[in-house]
Amino acid sequence: MTTVSETSKLEGLNEPQLEAVKTIDGPLLILAGAGSGKTRVLTRRIAYLIGDIGVPPWRILAMTFTNKAAGEMRDRVEGLLDRPSRGMWIGTFHSVCARLLRTEHDAAGLGPNFSIYDSTDQLAVVRKVLKASGMSDKDFPPKQVRGRIGQAKNMMSDPDGFARTAHSYYEKQVADLYRGYQAELEASNAVDFDDLLMKSVRLLNDHPAVLKKYQERFEYILIDEYQDTNRPQYLLTRHLAASHQNLCVVGDDDQSIYAWRGADIRNILDFERDYPETTLIRLEQNYRSTQIILDASNAVIANNEGRKGKRLWTDRKGGEPIRLRWTFDEQDEARWLVTTVQELKGVGGLALREQAVLYRTNAQSRAIEEQLVRANLPYVIVGDVKFYERREIKDVLGYLRLIDNPLDVVSLARVINTPRRGIGDTSFNRMMDFAAGTGEGPYGLLGRAEEIPDLSRAAASKMKRFLAMIEAFREKADQIDVAELTLEVLKATDYAQSLGAAGQEEAEGRRRNLEELLANIEGYVDRAEDTSLGAYLREVSLMADVDEWDDRADALTLMTLHSAKGLEFRAVYITGLEEGLFPIVRAWDEEEEDSTEEERRLFYVGITRAKERLFLSHARQRRRFGGTQACHPSRFLAEIPERLLDEGRRVREVSVAEPARSRRDASPVRHVEVEPSATPSRPQADLFSDPESDDAEHEVGGDGETGSLSTETGAWVIHPYWGRGVIEARSGSGGDTKLTVRFQGMTKKIVLRYARLLPG
């Protein structure tokens, strides 16, 4: 019999959603298509477990990928239950792991107030280790080293494990840097984001009693966006769910777009193999888009072979055709785009915040921004300079982190002379050198600064005053909330005044950022149960780009397709639909099939962000890497049925020579041509000339070498799309030469004749 309370939690659910909510025993895989109401299902399921089945909240663990999603999930559950969800663990994978590590810090080998280093902090540590090792940051770019260390951690490989599998000179050097990097983190009682996951898995592996404790606690586990999980997240889930097996994962294999940062689509594709008793439920009814937009997305993604399969549909009838625009170049594309945005705002009544421009790479935004500025249209770039990475914000947070964790060397280095107090780089380096020699942490030396060799009396005195100030803050931190403490720090340091004279535009902007930070902290204090410094730092250290984005401001949104996942807009513009740009794979990529399928999933994500209107554009030529390149229309455009495109177009079939003819999807591209918005007066490059042979300076000789380019193992090269990399292996000869090249955050196997490599 269905109770009244049960009815309220199940009201408005369609049949598959209802089944997903009420299937509570055993493993459950919910394949949730874009816009199919997965958040509703997850929150109703949690509320059903607590309110109707009687499961205590503390026996439920729910993990997702952004703080925003986790907060929305918690708010909805509490709204359905009409009471706080105290005791339940709802958070991102990283926040749950941070909580686990702090609770079990002794077993994990960490101090209770460990710092979490963001990407900027990580780079600072890498640069420090590079300098200490005497290695050149040109041969070992810090971002590349950081990316390689992150890759290793995503594969659960510690410094020793990484060293055992390192074969090339480059990898062996990175192994040494990894060891030094990890030693610096440990000395600072700090972890990076990847450590949160890896150390949590190691904790459960190495401590059976800890594992049993959390297996018994979490009777029900729910994972959102399961297709985005990497190996540590997969292993964490396997460990925790091994006892009760009441594991519900929600995901969409068609939206798996993060392989480049470690996500493994096999986790969702093989879920039924991992859990043989799985119940599979498909959510295919879409509540976001028109059927025309859904038909386009279904047609495109059907070309992928590595998928479980589903077809989105909606009750909504009709809808506007998809508009496809041919433009001369990126400037013409930007002019057309801005004009269309203005038309929709003026005639169509669509506010700017209801429209979004999506692109494959950040570099594409420049031309669009120029036209928006000329048109005086406000816009916001998601993923631009993050609020919490602005200098003044990092400075204030640096003080707070040092107060919380005095072992944090990165924060100490940041604030010891900020604002300037007469402790320059020379004095600081002398202290660091002395600390390294004695094995003592630098913070502990501040009170005995007079013992540091060659340190002036004045500098020693200033170090002691700095220590006294921090210690006073540390004492107050136990007595007042984080908002009051932050005000105390700003007053005692005169930080706001140090930013510059009143009236200076940059200084005023930085002061406004400080005011926003204070407002954010006060907001945190108003809503949080734990208002302590440590609790605030745990939350703010795990913020993501989308968590900072304010969708209430009436401004046009610009973002990469990756950043757009999970969002929706009434009108969406996908720009730069050209071969080599989107998809960003070419003939030189030996792994093209997998890469193309991921790129197609990314296009599918972009299409399904649109609720009512979808605009697609491609340029005939585009300036890239200092020159103008002819562009072929993207193969994905040929996969959209013509009946879904706007009427009045002129269509001509154009056979585009695709190098990878073995690919079943490398069919001739249908070029749907619309009159350009501005007729070019200059000579037009041939759009359909062979892009692999139009540049004599890049022609490859019979020996596989390109001019002065060395293709020997260990040589550095520059790729037009992936940047600088080092050759790790070479096979074949002449036109069949193949190289294995390590670029930042990835390794690629490329065919030399197509690669257009330059000496690095």
Active site residues: 38-39, 224-225, 255, 609
**Which residues, other chains included, contact 272 with Cβ-Cβ below 8 Å and sequence gap of 6+?**
29, 278, 280
User: What DSSP string describes 373-423?
Assistant: HHTT--EEETTSS-GGGSHHHHHHHHHHHHHH-TT-HHHHHHHTTSS--S-
Give the position of tokens 């954010």.
Answer: 520
Give the position of tokens 């919490």.
Answer: 388
β-bridge mates for residue 362, sequence order: none
What Å distances lie between residue 387 and 36, 57, 98, 551, 687, CA to CA? 32, 34, 22, 15, 41
Give the position of tokens 């009434």.
Answer: 570
Q: Which two tokens stand for residue 418?
A: 């900020």
DSSP-assigned letter for residue 689: S
DSSP-assigned letter for residue 53: I
Helix pair angle (208-217, 193-206), 10° resolution = 100
Closest CA to 659 of 589, 594, 711: 589
Burial of 554 (0-12, 13-18, 19+ CB in 10 A): exposed
Strands 610-619 and 323-327: parallel
User: d(Cα 655, Cα 638) in Å, to the nearest integer?
Assistant: 11
User: d(Cα 543, Cα 107) in Å, to the nearest integer?
Assistant: 26
384 touches 584 (CB < 8 A) = no
β-bridge mates for residue 556, sequence order: 379
345 touches 548 (CB < 8 A) = no
Q: Which two tokens stand for residue 173?
A: 């050097």
SS percent in the chain: helix, strand, coil, step 5: 50, 15, 35
Q: What is residue 707's three-state secondary structure?
A: coil
Q: Which two tokens stand for residue 219?
A: 């009777």
Give the position of tokens 């050097």.
Answer: 173
Provide φ and ψ at 742, rounded to 5°: -95, 110
**Which residues, other chains included, contact 89 with Cβ-Cβ below 8 Å and sequence gap of 6+?**
58, 60, 61, 62, 96, 99, 218
619 touches 329 (CB < 8 A) = yes
Q: Which two tokens stand for residue 567?
A: 């969002």
Q: From its phi and psi, is residue 201 left (phi > 0), alpha (psi between -120 and 50) or beta?
A: alpha
Which amino acid, residue 698? Answer: H
E-state strands within 50-209:
60-64, 89-92, 115-117, 190-192
Length of the chain: 760
Degrees to nearest 5, angle at CA 721 with 715 and 724: 30
E-state strands within 183-261:
190-192, 220-223, 247-251
177 touches 133 (CB < 8 A) = yes
What Å distances lie between residue 272 and 233, 285, 297, CA to CA? 17, 23, 26
177 touches 722 (CB < 8 A) = no
Strands 650-653 and 670-673: antiparallel
> Using alpha carbons only, how large is the chain's radius of gyration in Å?
28
Closest CA to 360 of 656, 564, 557, 66: 564
